[in-house]
Structure 1
Amino acid sequence: MWARWVLAGYLIGFLEGSCVHILDLARDGIHAYASFPQASLQVFFVSLAMLDPLVAVLVGLVRREGIWLASAVMVTDVFANWWGNRHWLQDDPARLVWLSPITLFGLFVVAFLLPLHRAVVRTRVAQP
């Protein structure tokens, strides 16, 4: 039962991320993340417009791959946000509040990686 709630949390988070990144691209095009000076971060954040919906679909289908991909995406996303915003954080530490939701969601996803994976494997094995 708990696994369904965790999967729902994953799904809500990645659907929200999908909307944010797709709307950013719809509004500002390929240069939506030009405020990040590193081209690698810009490319990564653009790629989230495809990765976040992919994770949402895989998690919605209760696929083990979706659970692992969710963790990989969130670890990378949290790191990229902290790295890309590090100069603003030095100038204005209050911006930590802005990074709190993504950091907390990333911790949530990673914390449930192994328990959720085990629960999904057990459920699949138990089904004929």
Structure 2
Amino acid sequence: MGVKLRERWGRQPVWARWALAVYLIGFLVGTRTHVLDVARDGVHAYAMFPQVPLQVFFVSLVVLDPLVIVLVGLARREGIWLAGAVMVLDMCGNWWGNRHWLHDDPSQLMRLVPLTIFGVFVVASVLPLHRAVAGMADKPETAVPSA
């Protein structure tokens, strides 16, 4: 499995490898954040959001973020699509759930800047990255010389 995975990553264009690595780092940070939140406060970790669907979504990221990591780590097209969907929902949920700061204390919204930058990167790169990974998946595999 390791040789195939190395070959799968190795066949990607350099920019795609970098993009996949950024996805992995970003979703690792997200996984850490959501796991720590849920470990600390349980299913009520996101009770600050009055909308139950937002609370459920943010708790579900304990499963969705690691799933993205596994699929992207395997350079799977499904992982790229899932990453895009998760980030759209995550950004929308965070901005909607924190919108009261627009009136109360706009400086609090600065904590959403890293999430937004990462989310915009993911959403903007989904299609080209999907094409790159799909293109490499369609090419025949080459034999890896044994050492």
TM-score, scaled to structure 2: 0.85
Distance 2:28 2:85 in 1: 16
Q: Which structure 1 segments of 5+ residues have no match?
A: none
Report the counterpart of residue 12 of structure 1 in structure 2.
25
Report the counterpart of residue 96 of structure 1 in structure 2.
109
Alignment of 1:42-121 (within 5 A): 42-121=55-134
Instruction: Determine which of 5, 9, 16 is the counterpart of 1:3.
Output: 16
State the AA in 2 paired with 1:46: V
Structure 1 position 97, deviation (Å): 0.9
Question: Which of 1 and 2 has greater Rg?
Answer: 2
Distance 1:9 1:127 in 2: 26
Distance 2:127 2:25 in 1: 19
Instruction: Give the RMSD, CA atoms, in angstroms.
Output: 0.8
Structure having the higher helix fraction is: 1
Are the equivalent residues in 1 in contact too, given 2:101–2:109 (CA < 8 A)?
A: no
Q: Are 2:44 and 1:22 equivalent residues in the alignment?
A: no
Alpha-carbon displacement from aligned partner over 1:19-72 (angstroms, at most 9, x marks no partner): 110111111111001111111111010000100000010000000000000000
Alpha-carbon displacement from aligned partner over 1:49-102 (angstroms, at most 9, x marks no partner): 100000010000000000000000000000000000001222111122111011
Number of residue pairs aligned between Structure 1 and Structure 2: 128
| Identity score, percent | 68
Are the equivalent residues in 1 in contact too, given 2:34–2:61 (CA < 8 A)?
A: yes
Report the counterpart of residue 40 of structure 1 in structure 2.
53
Q: Which runs of 4+ in 1 moved over 6 A?
A: none
